[in-house]
Structure 1
Amino acid sequence: MPQNKKEGIFFTTIVCFSMVLSMSAYNLLLHGQFSLSNLLVGLVPGFIVAFLFDVLVVATPAKKIAFALPINKSKKIHMIIAVSSCMVLGMVFFMSMYGVVMQFGFTQNFLGYYIGGFFSNLIMALPLQLLIVGPLCRWILSKSRQSNWLKEKNQISE
């Protein structure tokens, strides 16, 4: 897990980008609209929206909820699963809304589209985060940490 602000920003960025890329491809495939051009067109705006939701809306309450759960907080894996699961629930809640608005707009069927989208996204996003993206991004973070480029520099001038 990130140990300083620079690592936190790096980790959030790579997790967010990986999830947006994967979930965008999944949703395009699900709706029979997958093409590299469709994926690339939606990637940057989707990433920006997801990053803002993550940092400004979801992360703080998700972590508070995860830390309040009756789990063994001394076990790192329990905390990772709790925080990741809460983050996924929050992000799927907002990003499904974003996806429905982008795909269909605010129509009379918005709620139906949203509920369907929420559950189809949740069944993909949760295992994707817990089994692939989370472990891969934590590994990338550990390798980056070993290379020392993520360490925050001492700001004291000589």
Structure 2
Amino acid sequence: MPTNKRESLIFTIIMCFCMVLWMSVYNVARVHGWDFGPSTVASAWLGFPLAYLVAMLLDVLIASRFAKWFAFRFLVTPGVSSPRAITLAISGMMVAPMVLLMSLYGALEAFSHVGNPAMILPAWISNIPWNFIAALPWNLLVAGPIARWLFRCAFPEGTVLAEPQVS
């Protein structure tokens, strides 16, 4: 796991990419009758850049703060709990705010295509359980381990400095 703010930002970039890419494909496939074909992936990829930007902002500004606060307040204790327990607590707690916020983003994006503002709230509410069911296991079982592995392959422990070295 990241040990300073620079590592945290790099890890967030990787993790957010893994989550948003999968959730974009998942949601487009769900809307198109569970078709995971090339057209679904292409459609998801077209919407990916804006969704990724929104997710990064929501992650950094809201979700990660909430997840860390909740995890350290109610689930784990620094110095007592194992690093694995801390990782799972924070990762698991990231899902709830991100699902709530990104489901709203999806409902607003659908509104931009459909144009009926009365559909925003029902679309948002109906998307939350579907997205939670997909996001929690994906986060804990696939995206999290892949992101941590990629992060540590690229940046072995202690190689990302907290402060730049002055030459």
TM-score, scaled relative to structure 1 = 0.89
- Structure 1 counterpart of 2:100, from 93, 96, 108: 93
> 1:155 Cα deviation (Å)?
2.8
| Distance in 2 (alpha carbons) for counterparts of 1:70 and 1:15 | 22
* 1:126 aligned partner: 136
Contact 2:107 2:121 in 1 (8 A): no
Distance, in Å, in 2 between the alignment partners of 1:71 and 1:36 is: 38
Contact 1:145 1:151 in 2 (8 A): no
- Alignment of 1:44 with 2:54, yes or no, is no
TM-superposition CA deviations, 1:26-70 (whole Å, max 9, x none): 001001175343122101000000000001121112210110114
The CA distance in 2 between the partners of 1:147 and 1:4, in whole Å, is 11
Shift in CA distance, 152/67, structure 1 to aligned 2, threshold 3 Å: closer
- Give the CA deviation at 1:86: 1.1
Summarize the alignment of residues 138-157 of structure 1 with structure 2, pairs less than 5 Å apart: 138-146=148-156, 150-152=160-162, 154-157=164-167
Q: Does 1:9 pair with 2:9?
A: yes
What is aligned with 1:60? 65
Contact kept in structure 2, 1:23 and 1:125, CA below 8 Å: yes
Stretch moving more, 54-63 or 64-73: 64-73
TM-score (norm 2): 0.84
In the alignment, structure 1 segments of 5+ residues that lack a partner are none
Match of 2:83 in 1: 76
SS state at 2:58 partner: helix
- CA-CA distance at 1:153 after TM superposition: 6.0
Closer, same or farther: CA 147–68 of 1 in aligned 2, 3 Å: closer
Native 8 Å contact 1:144 1:150 kept in 2: no
Unaligned residue ranges in structure 2 (runs of 5+): none
Give the Cα–Cα distance (whole angstroms) in 2 for the partners of residues 149 and 70 of structure 1.
Answer: 30
